[in-house]
Structure 1
Amino acid sequence: MVAPLGMRKTRGWRKKKRVKLRKMTIFKILLLLLLLLIALQLLFLVLFFLLKIKLKRTRNAGLRLRTIDPCGPAFPQALCIARSLVHQDDESLRRWKEKLLGCLESDLNGQMEPEVKFHSVGILSSDFGEINTPLPIKEEQSKSVLFTLREGSEYRLKLTFSVLHNIVSGLAYTNTVWKAGLQVDQSKGMLGTFAPQREPYIHMLEEETTPSGALARGTYTAKLKFVDDDKRCHLELNYSFEISKSR
């Protein structure tokens, strides 16, 4: 029996509607899967950056806690001051303070503010070996070329300094370089936490490589600055150096 024309049209319309709904459902599922994938990628990026920040903080904290025995890295300066103010006539306490601070009590001169005294700055390179310059340098000496490096050569800065009066915490450096009045480089780093001691400290900065090419050659001016956790500036050294053509 043949169905009426109107019924056949209705069935065809319903069939098309079911197909259309099925396609829309598939499209919605694909869209949801795409959004879920994007959300997972964003979550992964957030976790990655959080992990990176945490690792960076952990590494910086490790550098800041590095110190010289017998003063523990977590020993606060306030505790040193408080204990030094009580029972000053106690012989055992006096010996304890001398062991803690690494110096005789008479060397403190009543001062509690830490002081970092820099004795020399040196440059180590395979080109010429080692050159040491006593500090402080004269003003006219800072304007003349302190050392000359070949392009593409590796070098390191060597620091000799003493810590006086108290523990210096979080001693860090910034080395900024200019050429023709334009800043071309800046490096930062953490030296660590140091206690007073009789012998001076010798610290090597990270190895660096001079740039190469005709544009890299010439005379540079630089400023080397040392600041601790309390924003005390212990040295601000202006100097000049030259990069020459390699043989």
Structure 2
Amino acid sequence: MLTSGHEQEASSVPDADLNPTETTGYKVGQQKTVEELAQLDAEDESLVRWKASLGVGAGAKPTAGSGPAVTVLSLSLSSPSRPTPIELDLTTPAALSALKSDPIVIKEGAEYSVELRFRVNHGLVSGLKYIQVVRRLGKNWDKLEAMCGSYGAKDEPYVKKFPAEEAPTGMIARSGTYTVRSRVTDDDKTVHADFEWYFKLGKEW
């Protein structure tokens, strides 16, 4: 299920489980446009470099734009024990739905990393965050919550790789299908993507 204009089915992972952790004492700063940021302290070299990393400055895309601010393109699983990553194309809802009956296979005990590829279409997105909850047999098994950062609009996709995790092991862990609900949100609590995918554990990839 995707939030980008597609009909959603009820999820087995409750919405409340996808809520981001609130940082005590942290306040969301006043949102500025790309144009306003470009004018800030132009003579400050460190700030110029920071703005350049966000795509702010000469040649930056303007704040205004139609359509979604962020398009999440793919989610990949890579592992030192696997020659090529497993890539989920998030621009094709039918391919994602097919995983319910034919889930991907993750090798038990394997170390793997989740990688997100996304594009910022216009404006500036502050505090982009990825959250995923893994659920099986009505119970949450794992939750990953990782900060991506702040990004300005540009034509090329951004890629964010998260710290490695280790897959469970054992006969019980190998039984049944795991449901993963993933969400991409930001400081303003805007949900840019919300989708489910499925996997099983096997003795090999």
Coarse TM-score class (shorter-chain normalised): 0.5 to 0.7
Which of 153, 172, 184 aligns to 2:141? It is 184
Name the counterpart of 2:73.
Answer: 119
Residue 156 of structure 2 corresponds to residue 202 of structure 1: no
Residues 144, 103 of structure 1: alpha-carbon distance in 2 compared, 3 angstrom cutoff:
farther
User: What TM-score do the two structures reach when normalised by structure 2?
Assistant: 0.67
Give 1:61-72 correspondences, 5 Å limit: none
Distance 1:102 1:213 in 2: 53
| Counterpart code for 2:78 | L
Give 1:75-90 correspondences, 5 Å limit: 77-78=31-32, 80=34
Name the counterpart of 1:140.
Answer: 97
Higher Rg of the two aligned structures: 1
Matched pairs, number: 163
User: What TM-score do the two structures reach when normalised by structure 1?
Assistant: 0.56
Name the counterpart of 2:118.
Answer: 161
Q: Contact conserved, 2:61 with 2:154, CA < 8 A, in 1?
A: no
CA RMSD of aligned residues (A): 3.3
Name the counterpart of 1:225.
Answer: 183
Task: List gaps (5 residues or longer) in structure 2.
Answer: 1-22, 39-54
Higher helix share: 1
Name the counterpart of 1:149.
Answer: 106
Residues 99, 227 of structure 1: alpha-carbon distance in 2 compared, 3 angstrom cutoff:
closer
Residue 193 of structure 2 corresponds to residue 239 of structure 1: no
Q: Contact conserved, 1:163 with 1:194, CA < 8 A, in 2?
A: yes
Other structure's SS at 2:163 match: coil
| Counterpart code for 1:131 | I
Distance 2:112 2:130 in 1: 17
Which of 70, 86, 93 aligns to 1:131? It is 86
Deviations 1:116-143 (A, max 9, x none): 1111111112343312221133263241
Q: Which has the higher contact order (CA 8 A, sep 6+)?
A: 2
Distance 1:83 1:244 in 2: 49
Q: Contact conserved, 2:129 with 2:145, CA < 8 A, in 1?
A: yes
Distance 2:59 2:161 in 1: 22
Task: List gaps (5 residues or longer) in structure 1.
Answer: 1-55, 65-73, 85-97
Deviates more, 1:140-149 or 1:218-227: 140-149
| Counterpart code for 2:80 | S
Residues 175, 145 of structure 1: alpha-carbon distance in 2 compared, 3 angstrom cutoff:
farther
Q: Contact conserved, 2:34 with 2:152, CA < 8 A, in 1?
A: no
